[in-house]
Every structure is written in C-alpha cells, then in structure tokens.
Structure 1
Amino acid sequence: MKNNKLLLIVLGLFLTIQIYAQNDFKIGINAGINYPKLRGNEYAKYNNFKVGYLVGVSFDYYIKQNLSLKTNINYERKIKKLEITLFSYDANVTGKENYNEIYEYINLPILLKYEFGNSKFFANGGPFFNYLINQKIDSNYSNNNSNLHSKQKKIDFGLSLGIGTNISLNEKNDLTIEIRDDLGLIDTSDASENTNSTLKTNSIKLIIGWNIGI
C-alpha cells in the first residue's frame, strides 16, 4: 500500500514537472535575410554589401510569464560587392569586373526577451557572438585568388537589439516576425595594425521563426 502511494506521488511529481516544462520552454527553427554594413574609419562607407541570409534554431526559456531567455544558433552568410578596374599598359581603362566576397558565420545571440502584457509584441536585447568559419571569393570571378580576401578576424562580438510580433497558430505553435540589429563593438579587421584604423560591423536582419512549446 505504501509502495503504491509512493508510486503515485512520484508519478504526480513527474507529471507536474512535465506540465511546468511545457509552459516554460520552446524550441524552434528560423530563417531570414540580412543587410550588413561596416563602420569605424573614413573608408568604411565604400564597402558595399548585398542582401544575405541566415538559417538556424532557437530556444526560449520562460523565467516569468512575459520574460524569457532566448538564444539562436544560426548559420549566416554575408555578401560584399567588389569591383576591379582594368587598365591597359598605357594606363587607359579597359573595363571593370565585378565579384562577391562571401563571409560565412556561426551566429550566437543571447537575448532577454520581454512580451508586452497581453499584446502580441515583444522586444529583446543582449550580446551576440559571431565566429567566421569561411571566407571566399565567389566562383563567378575568373581570377579567383585568395590574396584578394579582406583581412578579417575570426571573432566578432557586440550588442543585438530586436522588436517583433508573435502570431499564435494553436496552443503550442506560434510564428514570430522580428527585425533585429546586430551592432558590432570590436574591431574585426586584421589590417588595422598596418592602417591605424578599425572596422566594426552592423547587420540589420528580418527573421521569421516557428516555435513549438514542449
């Protein structure tokens, strides 16, 4: 009899923990686009970028009803437009050639997310970390040469701020639409020691996520 009561108590505690976890934790997938910029020296404005993209997974842990700790693990691609002017031996312009420099990152933001009362809107903010896993010239450039790469550090760190809205699909599933700004705070250029200048990143993102309560 005592064993049965103990079994019921353990089973009840287990179910309580499971129900509590279902209300407090969400996982999801997300995808979006980014538009990067550079700042930090007088030449930064001459760096032109195309729209890139990101894909990844998200995790939300609810500390309170409207307050959660949110993180993403994203693969992110940034694309910089470059142009080479071609000259003849007598210094006359003979043409121009365009190509792209591609940066591939693992992006990890750690954000505190606040949902405004009973509304569908939220804001979040916190640090982000980027790790450069690959840097290359696109295959469309006929004279592909690693020496054309910009000298770029592997690590980028800064502050991420975003606003967005939740769209409920059912009791456990919802969509999120968010505009986020990753503002880099450290110098990412490996050439800075030679040029006595710095380059810091800035990336505006539009992210759509699908989240599931567990």
Structure 2
Amino acid sequence: MKKILISTALCAVTFLSAQIDFSSTRYGITAGGTYSRVSNAHNPSGPLYSFYGGFLAMIPVDDNNQFFIQPEVEYFGAGESGKDKDAKGSEFYDAVYANNYISVPIYFKGYFSEAESEFFAMAGPRFNFLINQNVSGAPVRYTVEGDANGVNGKAATFNFAIGLGVGFSYKRKLEATLRYDLGLSNTYPGLMNEKGLDASIQKKKSEQVFSVGLSYVFD
C-alpha cells in the first residue's frame, strides 16, 4: 500500500510540474476575520475573534484558466478565550489566549467553470509559525513535577492544519472566501503535563479556525 501511495504521489507531482505555468502567475492581497477555538484545552474554553491579512499568488496548472495552485503568506490570528456560554461569571471567563502566527497555506483551487465570475473551492495544508502569544486573565498551574509553569497554556511554536474553502470570484479579481482550518498538531503540548484538570487533559489540543475574507488579484 505504501508503494502505491508513493507512486501515486510521484505521478501527481510529475503531472502538476508539467502543467504549471509560472510565467502566468498573478498576485494579490487578502484579508478577513477569524473565529477560532481549541478543543480539549482550557476550562472554560470559548471562541476568540481575530483577523488575518497577507499576500497570495495564483499559479495556473491548466490551459483553461480554471485550476490553480494558490500559496499565501499571512499574519494569522487564532487561539481561544474563556468565554464559554456556560461559564459566565466564572473566575477565568475573561481569559484570553491569543496565538499570532506567520501562516503559509498552500491551496489547490478550482473554479466550477471557465466563466470570469464563478464559484470556486480550494483545499490544502496550512503551516503556522508562532510569532508570539498574548495571554491575559489566565490561571497559573503547575506541572506534574511541581515546577512553576508560568502562564497556563504555552502555545507550540509550529502547528499544522488542513484547510478547506469555498468562495465566489467577480471577474477573477475580487473574491469572497469562507474557509475552515482543522488543526492536526497539538496546539498546547505542555498542557498535557499539568495536573488537576479533567479527563480531556491527555487529548490533543486541536486549534480550529473559521474565517471569512476578501481577496483582490492584480492583472
């Protein structure tokens, strides 16, 4: 099975390499808002609202102006807060765990037809590199070994996600996009070593982000 998967991946890379037309690459800017949560993390755990913004490139992979590879480089705000709807009035309801990233998503993007104004879908990996983490109102806990842990919930310096998106393009220039990113790596690896939390302590802390935004692609 491994040999079949490797052979399939090599064939796909070879095919795409033959089709990619870097000379027709178009560039653009993108920005929008984010709604994020982290599963199995803090209690209370609620959503955090932030934003993203950056640059994109649209690299054609066919001759019909319909399929593209779209890499992006963004500032990407994510994380969580303590504002769980069932935790109003609790001690840490106003806690904020804001994770600020330089993010590099790489999408395979397809328009539903060759029309200038058309819907599209895209999917691909997202690589997040932590710039900093701003934490406020959070509890201080201790590791199993008893050493002071400082702020509860130190974010990993790198995490990996898979992104899916749909949107609408107006004349292949102004585009509105709705995206969902599912974190596959552990956002708070240190949190798993803390004591005194509920049974979810040993589960992976997955960062999940919904975003909606606009992009403008230059000629």
2:7 is aligned to none
Match of 2:208 in 1: 202
* Structure whose residues are more often strand by fraction: 1
CA distance in 1, matches of 2:80, 2:152: 11
3-state SS of paired residue (1:51): strand
SS of equivalent to 2:82: strand
Aligned to 1:147: 150
Alignment of 1:21-100 (within 5 A): 24-39=24-39, 41=40, 46-64=44-62, 65-78=65-78, 80-82=80-82, 98-100=94-96
The one-letter code sitting in structure 2 at the alignment partner of 1:176 is E
Instruction: Provide the TM-score with structure 2 as the length reference.
Output: 0.69
Contact 1:160 1:183 in 2 (8 A): yes
Secondary structure of residue in 1 paired with 2:150: helix
What does residue 124 of structure 1 align with? 122
Aligned partner of 2:180 in structure 1 is 181
Deviation at 1:81, TM superposition (A): 2.3
Question: How many angstroms does 1:98 deviate by?
Answer: 2.7
1:103 aligns with 2:99: yes
Identity within the alignment, %: 22
Distance change (3 Å), C-alpha of 1:193 and 1:80: closer
Question: How many residues align structurally?
Answer: 174
Superposition CA RMSD, Å: 2.9
Equivalent residues of 1:136, 1:149 under 8 A apart: no
Deviation (angstroms), 1:56: 0.4
Cα distance in 2 for partners of 1:130, 1:44 equals: 21
Q: In structure 1, what is the equivalent of residue 196 of structure 2?
A: none
The Cα of 1:118 is off from its aligned counterpart by 3.3
Q: How far did residue 73 of structure 1 move?
A: 0.4
Task: Measure, in 2, the Cα distance between the counterparts of 1:196 and 1:29.
Answer: 40
- CA distance in 1: counterparts of 2:37 and 2:93, whole angstroms: 22
Distance 2:36 2:160 in 1: 14
Equivalent position amino acid for 1:198 in 2: K
Give the alignment's TM-score, normalised by structure 1.
0.71
What's the counterpart of residue 17 of structure 1? none
* 3-state SS, counterpart of residue 122 of structure 1: strand
Which whole-Å CA distance do the structure 2 matches of 1:182 and 1:129 have between them? 11
Deviation at 1:103, TM superposition (A): 1.4
Contact 1:166 1:176 in 2 (8 A): yes
Q: 1:135 — aligned with what?
A: 133
Mind listing any 5+ residue stretches in structure 2 that lack a counterpart?
A: 1-20, 84-88, 140-148, 194-200
Is the contact made by 2:76 and 2:101 (CA closer than 8 Å) also made in structure 1?
A: yes
What is the Cα deviation at residue 80 of structure 1? Answer: 2.9
How far residue 164 of structure 1 moved from its aligned partner, in angstroms, is 0.5
Find 2:110's aligned residue among 110, 114, 123.
114
Deviation at 1:82, TM superposition (A): 3.3
Contact between 1:109 and 1:128, CA under 8 Å: does it hold in 2? yes
User: Which digits, 9 at most, give the CA deviation of each residue in 1:86-134, with x for residues without a partner?
Assistant: xxxxxxx9x8773433211111111110111134111110111111110
